[in-house]
Copies of this chain bind each other. A is one copy, B any other.
Amino acid sequence: MLEKTPRTTPSRYANQRMSYDEAVVFPILDDALFCTVSYSVDNQPFSIPTAFVRKENKLYIHGSVGSHFLREIEKGIPVCISVMLTDDLVVAKSAFNHSVNYRSVVIFSNATKIDDFEAKALFFKELTEKIVPNSWDYLRPMKEKEVNKTMLLVFDIVEASAKVRSGMPVDEEEDQGLPIWSGLIPIPSKRLTPIADELSVNIPLPEHLATT
């Protein structure tokens, strides 16, 4: 179980929707391609969306060694990482009871920089395979200078929680008999048919990119 602290205890739905279980938190992190990393300088918050990889109880992000954002958080200042996957619009019989089915995670942590060349190279493989499964061996191999140009930061996932809403709308009892349609509108992010670059119009689409 993850750490339940005042910072990971919300004021709303603290019992119904919250989980501190890795078995809930980790699959959300693995389904999401992007997170929002927030940090603060002199109480001025900044937030940046970025791709990430989760491995065991660690979360990894990367970027240019010249990135102002990464150079700020590599100091180890407090960071809040949030992830939200939106599954459905929840359409009730009244506007007030409309909601959203979502799976979200919040992590409070601090960055540690990873300088080890092999660890960085492995991260790139794992990120690439997360974004485009089974593509690593097909691509032009990574060069040493590409690894060196990139900063890799890791965060412990210890003080973290998931908040999840699922299921149908909850209408007031007095509204339940109204002849007004209620239900869900699924809003998944779908991978559509790939579109070839001009350089690649005569290159067969590799099997790992064929949509099913």
Contact = CB atoms under 8 A, between A and B. Distances in A.
A125 B173 CA distance: 23
A46 B40 CA distance: 9
Residue from the set A11, A131, A199, A203 with the largest chain B CB neighbour count within 10 Å: A199
A197 interface: yes
Contacts of A36: 36, 38, 47, 49, 82, 84
A101 to B, nearest CB: 11
A15 interface: no
A140 B93 contact: yes
A80 interface: yes
A39 B45 contact: yes
- This chain: how many copies in the complex? 2
Nearest to A108: B44
Given A40-B43, A98-B128, A140-B180, A188 B189 contact: yes
Contact of A140 (B33, B86, B127, B178): B178
Interface string A176-198: 10111111111111111111111
Nearest to A78: B44
Contacts of A89: 131-132, 191
B11 A66 contact: yes
A118 interface: no
